[in-house]
Amino acid sequence: MTITAQGTVLTEAELSELREAQLSDVENGPESKPPFDLKNYLGSRKKLVETALDGFLPVQAPEKIYEAMRYSLLAGGKRLRPILCLASCELVGGSIDMAMPTACALEMVHTMSLIHDDLPAMDNDDYRRGKLTNHKVYGEDIAILAGDGLLVYAFESIARETKNVPPELVLQTIAHLGRAFGPAGVVGGQVVDLESEGKPDVSLETLDFIHARKTGALLEACVVCGGILAGAADAEVERLSRYARNIGLAFQIIDDILDVTQTQEQLGKTAGKDERSLKATYPRFWGLEESKQRALDLVEAAKAELKPYGSKAIPLQAIADFIVSRQS
Amino acid sequence: MTITAQGTVLTEAELSELREAQLSDVENGPESKPPFDLKNYLGSRKKLVETALDGFLPVQAPEKIYEAMRYSLLAGGKRLRPILCLASCELVGGSIDMAMPTACALEMVHTMSLIHDDLPAMDNDDYRRGKLTNHKVYGEDIAILAGDGLLVYAFESIARETKNVPPELVLQTIAHLGRAFGPAGVVGGQVVDLESEGKPDVSLETLDFIHARKTGALLEACVVCGGILAGAADAEVERLSRYARNIGLAFQIIDDILDVTQTQEQLGKTAGKDERSLKATYPRFWGLEESKQRALDLVEAAKAELKPYGSKAIPLQAIADFIVSRQS
């Protein structure tokens, strides 16, 4: 039971209905409340994040390593990971400032994983986000070190720059990000991805294992760390984690679909690469149509997880929709 | 002024004399107190550290990455860095348990820097500690990821496993290690080292810049982080930092001397490499004799920093002596 501002006592079911109605209000927008504009939201959040990233990493001696780190970190991109982290922190009642160092750290570790994945010894890619990859500009040695530098800087930034959050929650955030990115997460996913390359008989189970770690674990960490910093209770963290795992898998399915259907120019990276290298992808298992449907179902499930938050959940729900509708 | 157990009031000068006398007692050892045995001390601490390292990193799926991480992490070595961290924590009044996760993390980041430094794109070394380097066994791709994995695991371990230390001190430890290892520390030092390679005109200033970061910063972090975890006051942290920077530079000078004077078998890595690659070293600037004398002077200065701790400082003072007398 909950007491509303008007003093009415509502059951959980009535409360849920009321929240849905509020959500629908905001979506359809009475004139006093303009409808939520995702494009504006993403644009303004992206700017906030990029200003913060720029400020976190001023060029010092030795200049070359800072320049190499900045080259990839400030190369654009949607900044979806930090935006998810900020949104999740706000959803649970925290502020943007509380989560900004962690949001930037998430973009740093994501960027470093791209720099190392692009190396000749790994995926050997020359282009990323429409620009030459880090090692094509700075050489392999500096690219390896730029990745290492970003990884360390990420953890240092969370520990040193997070303000107005109880220190034990900052430690939980660091531990969660560490688990998500390390051998049990992104790094482990990349290992199995490399092992599976060129094999014609990769199982759906292995494909799930790879993506739950290589893409999913970090997206999950974005949402969960935002919640932890805002003091989310365990049950809330679980709910945020389910939302994030659903959108993470949807994101990967859409990535696989785009790789088949888009041109290099649209993607900003080498397209059709998965197809040529016989890489296991979801469209190979399910076909394009079923893959798309499954991604849509995952997004619906993700959005449903956030219903108890009512209209506060609109940004994260709209981001979930964006993931299946994006064209690059 | 200090009140002794007997109730006598001592001035700082008298206190300092008393501590010197106690130190001399322990060094010369009355029969009831056997003299400090560094070899036994290092041996038993090394065992403690290796048991902890082994326990921190059990093999899980995907096995290959854990095996590659363990291959280099458990490949032996003196474990000087974690031992310094534990000793410093005890010196300031903390326990071994409080510092063990950080001590292991320091060995993890040190190991990862060796794995990445040995890569073909960097120093291109085939042997390390008498064994094949990581990429010679697992391939370049896995070696890069094993390094990344160890780096992340280090920060996760400190955040997740440190017990009985106020969380704000754990955060300070993470921030200090991050600064020491990142672009302002080890990573930055390696960049300038790579840039200087093969150049005949590297200045002594540049050589100092490289070593203060590539070797010195992490040794400093070992000693300082141990102190921070035990709750050292700012002035104590400064004192520990000066001790550590002195032994760090001495360590590097001795390393340069050993590279000239020892065989590959004695060193467990390719010897004479610095000489052949025209690398700037201290013996090139000062000659062997003066280099040795400067290392001895630095060690004396380091030991002097710890005099106020009296007999408690014996392990760290003995380690300082060990650094200039070591043969590999």
Tell me the average pLDDT of chain B: 89
Integer angstrom CA distances of residue B222 from B247, B248, B284, B310: 12, 11, 29, 21
Give this complex's ipTM.
Answer: 0.87
Q: Considering CB atoms only, which of A156, A167, A194 is closest to B182?
A: A156
In chain A, pLDDT over 70 holds for what percent of residues? 85
CB contact under 8 A, B152 and A122: no
In chain B, pLDDT over 70 holds for what percent of residues? 85
pLDDT in tens, A137-191: 999 999 999 999 999 999 999 999 999 999 999 999 999 999 999 999 999 999 9
Q: How far apart are CA A134 and CA A55, in angstroms?
A: 21
Q: Where do the domains of chain A lie?
A: 51-325
- A195 Cβ under 8 Å from any chain B Cβ: yes
CB contact under 8 A, B159 and A175: yes
What pLDDT does residue B16 have? 52
Q: How far apart are CA B50 and CA A103, in angstroms?
A: 35
- A299 Cβ under 8 Å from any chain B Cβ: no
Q: Which CATH class is domain B60-325?
A: mainly alpha
User: What are the φ and ψ backbone dihedral angles of A119, each rounded to 5 degrees?
Assistant: -60, 150
- A145 Cβ under 8 Å from any chain B Cβ: yes
Instruction: Name the residue among B180, B125, B120, B177 with its Cα closest to residue B144.
Output: B120
Q: Considering CB atoms only, which of B157, B159, B187 is closest to A145?
A: B187
What pLDDT does residue A262 have? 78
pLDDT in tens, A72-116: 999 989 999 999 999 999 999 999 999 999 999 999 999 999 999
pLDDT in tens, B69-95: 999 999 989 999 999 999 999 999 999
What pLDDT does residue B34 have? 80
- A137 Cβ under 8 Å from any chain B Cβ: no
What pLDDT does residue B7 have? 37
Mean pLDDT calculated for residue range B160-186: 98
CB contact under 8 A, A155 and B145: no
- For B88, residues 6+ apart whose C-beta sits below 8 A from its C-beta are B99, B222, B223, B224, B225, B226, B227, B230, B240, B316
According to CATH, the topology of domain A51-325 is Farnesyl Diphosphate Synthase (1.10.600)
Q: Which helix (H) or strand (E) holds B3?
A: strand B2-3
CA dihedral of residues B152, B156, B159, B163 (deg, nearest 10): -130
Kindly report the nearest CA distance between residue B206 and chain A, in angstroms.
11
- B170 Cβ under 8 Å from any chain A Cβ: yes
pLDDT in tens, B222-248: 999 999 999 999 999 999 999 999 999
Kindly report the nearest CA distance between residue A62 and chain B, in angstroms.
6
Mean pLDDT calculated for residue range B120-142: 96
Long-range contacts formed by A167-172: CB under 8 A, 24+ apart: A167/B166, A167/B167, A167/B168, A167/B170, A167/B171, A168/B167, A169/A228, A169/A229, A169/A231, A170/A229, A170/B167, A170/B171, A171/B159, A171/B160, A171/B167, A171/B170, A171/B171, A172/A228, A172/B159
DSSP string, A102-129: HHHHHHHHHHHHHHHHTSTTTT--SEET
Kindly report the nearest CA distance between residue A61 and chain B, in angstroms.
8
**B18 pLDDT more than 90:** no
User: What are the φ and ψ backbone dihedral angles of B269, each rounded to 5 degrees?
Assistant: -145, 170
Q: Considering CB atoms only, which of A66, A119, A155 is closest to B144?
A: A119
What pLDDT does residue A194 have? 93
What pLDDT does residue B259 have? 86
- Residues in B closer than 8 angstroms to A69, CB to CB, are 183
- Residues in B closer than 8 angstroms to A208, CB to CB, are none
Beta carbons of B266 and B328 less than 8 angstroms apart: yes
Residue type, A242: R
- Residues in A closer than 8 angstroms to B140, CB to CB, are 121
Q: How far apart are CA B84 and CA B77, in angstroms?
A: 14
Mean pLDDT calculated for residue range A228-257: 96
pLDDT in tens, B175-201: 999 999 999 999 999 999 999 988 888
What pLDDT does residue B323 have? 87
Beta carbons of A251 and A282 less than 8 angstroms apart: no
Q: Which B residues, 46 through 105, put their C-beta within 8 Å of a C-beta on chain A?
A: 60-62, 64-66, 69
- B10 Cβ under 8 Å from any chain A Cβ: no
CB contact under 8 A, B66 and A183: yes
CB contact under 8 A, A148 and B151: yes
Beta carbons of B84 and B41 less than 8 angstroms apart: no
**B264 pLDDT more than 70:** no
What pLDDT does residue B267 have? 60
What pLDDT does residue A7 have? 37
pLDDT band at A4 (very low <50, low <70, confident <90, very high): very low
pLDDT band at A13 (very low <50, low <70, confident <90, very high): low
User: What are the φ and ψ backbone dihedral angles of B38, each rounded to 5 degrees?
Assistant: -60, -40
**B12 pLDDT more than 80:** no
Q: Where are the beta strands (DSSP E) in chain A?
A: 2-3, 9-10, 127-128, 131-132
pLDDT band at B21 (very low <50, low <70, confident <90, very high): very low
pLDDT band at A206 (very low <50, low <70, confident <90, very high): very high
CB contact under 8 A, A116 and B145: yes
Mean pLDDT calculated for residue range A4-22: 45
- Residues in A closer than 8 angstroms to B61, CB to CB, are 188, 209
What pLDDT does residue B29 have? 46
pLDDT in tens, B28-68: 444 566 899 999 999 999 999 999 999 999 999 999 999 99
What pLDDT does residue A34 have? 80
pLDDT in tens, A117-138: 999 999 999 999 889 999 999 9
Beta carbons of A317 and A306 less than 8 angstroms apart: yes
Q: Considering CB atoms only, which of B167, B187, B209 is closest to A65?
A: B187
Mean pLDDT calculated for residue range B91-114: 98
Q: Which B residues, 220 through 279, put their C-beta within 8 Å of a C-beta on chain A?
A: none
Q: How far apart are CA A73 and CA A69, in angstroms?
A: 6
